[in-house]
Structure 1
Amino acid sequence: MKNVPLVFALSMAASLSACASADSGAVNSGSGSTASARAALLAADGSSRGDATVTEMADGLHVAVRATGVSPGVHAVHVHMTGTCTPPDFNSAGGHWNPTGRQHGRDNPAGMHMGDMPNMTAAADGTGTMEYVIPGGTLRSGAHPLLDADGAAVVIHAQADDNKSDPAGNAGGRIACGILSAG
């Protein structure tokens, strides 16, 4: 009879341990987060223009951009295919990330690039935010990872993207650029 409480206690502990493992596994797999990358967005003179975060989730890459010190109004924001940001024009970042060989813009019947994202509106104080999910995108795995051998960058443009003109939506010059690095 003395062994019954001990056996009961051991089986309860094993059950609770199994539940804890299952619960913590569900929390981890429920978040879907596998990796992330960050970029400090800089102007041509090296001053801060905000930051960008890209997080890989089950449904694709979640991009969050926070801009500061940009002119009020609407600005295109794109993921570019090369992880270099050489001032003054940031052309070193290359074109939009386009591993599937599409045309530019969500309104283009032959589009869109994976790096095409919605426009961001900056307030009178020069701040703006933009969040977007790149469906099916991955950071380091799969057929077309964003962070390949030459990396990637996030770029803010001077003007709005018209969402159809190839190759860049008539978005104007590149006013801020940030190199994405895994974090």
Structure 2
Amino acid sequence: MKKMNMALLCASVSVALAGCGSQEDHKSKDATSMKDIKPMTVDIVDAKGKKAGSAHLKQVAEGVQVKLHAKGLIPGQHGVHFHEMGVCEAPKFESAGKHFNTTHKQHGFDNPKGPHVGDLQNISANENGDAKGDFIATMVTLAPGKSNSLVKKGGTSLVIHANADDYKTDPSGNSGDRMMCGVIKEK
């Protein structure tokens, strides 16, 4: 009986330790894969097709960090969104498609039926038309092959709108015309 109890104890400890090891291995693989995702810079163009800024995208644990700078905007608040297509044909940027919305929800952080995965924070342009933003988009990734990946086949885009996003009105938060656009694709 003692031998059987000792054997059961040893087996239980072995299983418990094996489980801990596999959990650590899983965390290591996740950490390594996140490190393998290269940051990217997206050139932003205005309605004339001229470079008007850039966005630096970096995978972080919480999602994608977006550091955005644009110039030549009308002073005030401007909605910013990820759009579903990796095409930015000036002047209206309709080629960027709709908001990136893999969850099929309605638009807006303040909408109980939202938000889209491509909904982002407003940016504010100063009296010179310069705007900067630094935020984390928690519902997207730069990891290829994921349904919410910004680097999906064909890419996506980052669009700056003429007006502030009200964070609730579907489909685009009353943010107005598309003023600037940048293509997000793996190189």
The normalised TM-score by structure 1 is 0.78
Partner-residue secondary structure (3-state), 1:171: coil
In the TM superposition, residue 88 of structure 1 has moved relative to its aligned partner by: 1.5
Q: Deviations over 1:65-95 (max 9, x none)?
A: 1011111111111111110001121010011
Q: How far apart are the structure 2 equivalents of 1:104 and 1:155? A: 15
**Selected match of 1:161 from 165, 174, 178:** 165
Contact 2:49 2:91 in 1 (8 A): no
171-180 or 36-45: which moved more?
36-45
Partner residue of 2:84? 81
Partner residue of 1:118? 121
Structure 1 unaligned residues grouped into runs of 5+: 1-24
Q: How many residues align?
A: 156
Q: How far apart are the structure 2 equivalents of 1:33 and 1:58? A: 13
Partner-residue secondary structure (3-state), 1:179: strand
Partner-residue secondary structure (3-state), 2:64: strand
Q: How far apart are the structure 1 equivalents of 2:81 and 2:115? A: 12
Q: How far apart are the structure 2 equivalents of 1:160 and 1:88? A: 20
Q: How far apart are the structure 2 equivalents of 1:117 and 1:100? A: 15
Partner residue of 1:5? none
The equivalences for 1:133-152 within 5 A come to 133-139=136-142, 140-152=144-156
In the TM superposition, residue 136 of structure 1 has moved relative to its aligned partner by: 4.5
Partner residue of 1:63? 66
Over the aligned positions, Cα root-mean-square deviation in angstroms equals: 1.9
Partner residue of 2:104? 101
Q: Deviations over 1:142-161 (max 9, x none)?
A: 33322111201111100000
Q: How far apart are the structure 2 equivalents of 1:127 and 1:46? A: 18
Kindly provide the amino acid, as one letter, of the partner of residue 34 in structure 1: I
Q: Deviations over 1:111-133 (max 9, x none)?
A: 00111111100001111111221
Contact 1:33 1:56 in 2 (8 A): no
Partner residue of 1:179? 183
Identical aligned residues as a percent? 37
Partner-residue secondary structure (3-state), 1:92: helix
Kindly provide the amino acid, as one letter, of the partner of residue 60 in structure 2: M
Partner-residue secondary structure (3-state), 2:39: strand
Shift in CA distance, 115/67, structure 1 to aligned 2, threshold 3 Å: same
The normalised TM-score by structure 2 is 0.77
Shift in CA distance, 138/53, structure 1 to aligned 2, threshold 3 Å: same
